[in-house]
């Protein structure tokens, strides 16, 4: 048995134990985990690109096969009902035969009707996990996504198994290869669209296989946090590239951002300053750290960068206190990462539910929990020149604290974001992203 096979075996055993414990505590007899269905486009015979449900991917490294089901019962090997229709319009997925399949009773089924026939006659004490297909309405299920089952499962998913960490490292390495190719295309004068194609080619992926739509922003577009376009035309001048792009490996995501200067040494120095601040924040990732404290520390760190770069006229502490730092860093410092890019339960207080509040004045933070070994988080400070936020600051007391000529000189660059993925260890953290870039250099 290879190391990866042993890791998956331990991962599957951990999932089985976790499900058995949660089923018993919540009063359910079994769980039915669904991969998801194809979603039709309104008044069309096409469907949206398929994305497998996270909990299904936790069990099986299958990301592209809809209408599969896993029946989990205490004391029994999980039953994987693999959807394999008879079709000549589309090629059915082949029956999986990897070493991981030995941990399932595997049965090919042509449709959901056949899948239902393969399940116990009564599902009255079975909880369904996922967005159910219409056919499931007649199955006699006990409940769909009952919170007493789903909330504890989601809460525990923050702690990754060794197998999951291996998958996340692999996703980081693929993303690093893509980012190197994207940076080279940028330096060659490529368009946003061409840079995106370079990223995909280096990763060996189709666009629909990415965990999220890549952000490829030239120049002032870097000020749009979730910039969604891929402009085909070349700008008159290349100033900067902000690329936020990740990949996934067996359903586990990476989420990586880098910012590049084309020729301007002043902007390159500003990128280096944000990068140094980011590394200082990464050093704070350790067990027992309250993520809210790290988020607040990120505002002081970025305010320090802005102060030293002559962007603000006040001290870093005053910038945080008066809300000036939020003009230049309006988003959260990071989030949980795993089967989803913004993984679940980042705000969840206990396995039973409830929310840990965000710090006052920071409504976009996606993580408020205390870090534990096995958590995987993103660290993504930024410094942006966002016109709507600048316009608000011009109209209030913050205006006197900002060096407007300096801001105007930097607006053509859009902004800076540096994002790494970190796994919390027993004593600190492992930077999956930096290690991946070093490995593919």
Helix runs in 118-229, H state only: 147-156, 162-187, 192-203
Where exactly are the structural domains of the chain?
Answer: 3-156, 162-440
> 299: burial class by Cβ within 10 Å (0-12, 13-18, 19+)?
buried
**Residue 1: is its pLDDT beyond 90?**
no
DSSP 370: B
Q: What are the Cα distances from residue 398, in Å, to 33, 34, 114, 333?
A: 51, 51, 65, 22
Provide the pairing of β-strand 376-379 with 257-261.
unpaired
Beta strands in 87-168 (DSSP E): 105-109, 126-129, 143-144
The SS3 assignment for 435 reads: helix
CA neighbor of 79 nearest in space, from 37, 36, 38, 115:
115
Class of the CATH domain delimited by 162-440: alpha beta
Q: In angstroms, how far is the first alpha carbon of the chain from the final one?
A: 31
Encoding tokens for residue 333?
A: 């410092």
26, 152 Cβ separation under 8 angstroms: yes
| Alpha-carbon span 194 to 207, nearest angstrom | 13
pLDDT at 441: 86
Convert the pLDDT of each residue in 348-392 to its tens digit.
999 999 999 999 999 999 999 999 999 999 999 999 999 999 999
Sheet order of strands, 105-109 included: 105-109, 79-83, 69-72, 30-34, 126-129, 143-144
pLDDT at 38: 95
402, 392 Cβ separation under 8 angstroms: no
Convert the pLDDT of each residue in 186-229 to its tens digit.
999 999 999 999 999 999 999 999 999 999 999 999 999 999 99
| Alpha-carbon span 378 to 333, nearest angstrom | 8
Average model confidence (pLDDT) across the chain: 97
What's the whole-number mean pLDDT along residues 392-397?
97
pLDDT at 2: 85
Class of the CATH domain delimited by 3-156: alpha beta
| Alpha-carbon span 432 to 42, nearest angstrom | 41
């Amino acid at each position: 048995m290879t190391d990866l096979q042993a890791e998956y075996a331990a991962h599957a055993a951990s999932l089985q134990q976790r499900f058995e414990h949660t089923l018993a505590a919540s009063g359910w007899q079994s769980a039915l985990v669904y991969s998801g269905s194809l979603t039709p486009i309104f008044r069309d015979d096409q469907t949206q690109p398929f994305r497998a449900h996270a909990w299904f991917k936790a069990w099986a490294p299958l990301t592209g096969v809809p209408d599969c089901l896993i029946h989990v019962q205490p004391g029994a090997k999980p039953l994987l009902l693999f959807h394999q229709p008879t079709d000549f319009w589309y090629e059915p997925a082949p029956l999986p035969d990897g070493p991981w399949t030995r941990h399932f009773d595997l049965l090919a089924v042509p449709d959901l009707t056949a899948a239902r026939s393969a399940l116990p006659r009564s599902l009255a004490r079975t909880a369904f996990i996922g967005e159910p297909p219409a056919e499931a309405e007649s199955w006699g299920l006990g409940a769909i996504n009952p919170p007493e089952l789903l909330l504890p499962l989601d809460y525990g998913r923050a702690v990754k198994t060794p197998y999951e960490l291996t998958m996340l490292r692999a996703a980081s390495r693929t993303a690093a290869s893509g980012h190197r190719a994207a940076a080279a295309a940028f330096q060659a004068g490529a368009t946003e669209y061409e840079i995106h194609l370079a990223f995909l080619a280096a990763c060996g992926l189709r666009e629909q296989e990415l965990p999220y739509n890549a952000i490829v922003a030239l120049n002032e577009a870097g000020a749009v946090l979730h910039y969604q376009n891929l402009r085909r035309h070349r700008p008159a001048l290349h100033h900067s590239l902000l690329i936020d792009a990740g990949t996934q490996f067996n359903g586990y995501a990476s989420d990586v951002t880098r910012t590049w200067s084309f020729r301007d040494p002043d902007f390159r120095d500003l990128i280096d300053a944000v990068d140094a601040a980011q590394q200082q924040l990464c050093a704070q990732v350790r067990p027992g750290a309250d993520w809210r404290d790290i988020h607040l520390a990120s505002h002081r760190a970025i305010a320090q960068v802005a102060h030293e770069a002559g962007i603000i006229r006040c001290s870093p502490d005053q910038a945080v206190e008066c809300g000036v730092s939020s003009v230049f860093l309006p988003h959260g410092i990071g989030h949980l990462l795993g089967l989803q890019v913004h993984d679940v339960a980042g705000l969840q207080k206990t396995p039973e539910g409830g929310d840990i509040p965000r710090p006052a004045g920071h409504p976009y933070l996606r993580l408020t929990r205390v870090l534990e070994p096995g958590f995987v988080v993103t660290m993504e400070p930024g410094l942006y020149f966002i016109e709507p936020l600048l316009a608000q600051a011009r109209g209030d007391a913050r205006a006197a604290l900002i060096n407007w000529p300096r801001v105007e000189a930097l607006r053509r660059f859009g902004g800076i974001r540096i994002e790494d993925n970190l796994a919390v260890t027993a004593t600190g953290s492992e930077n999956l992203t930096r290690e991946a870039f070093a490995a593919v250099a």
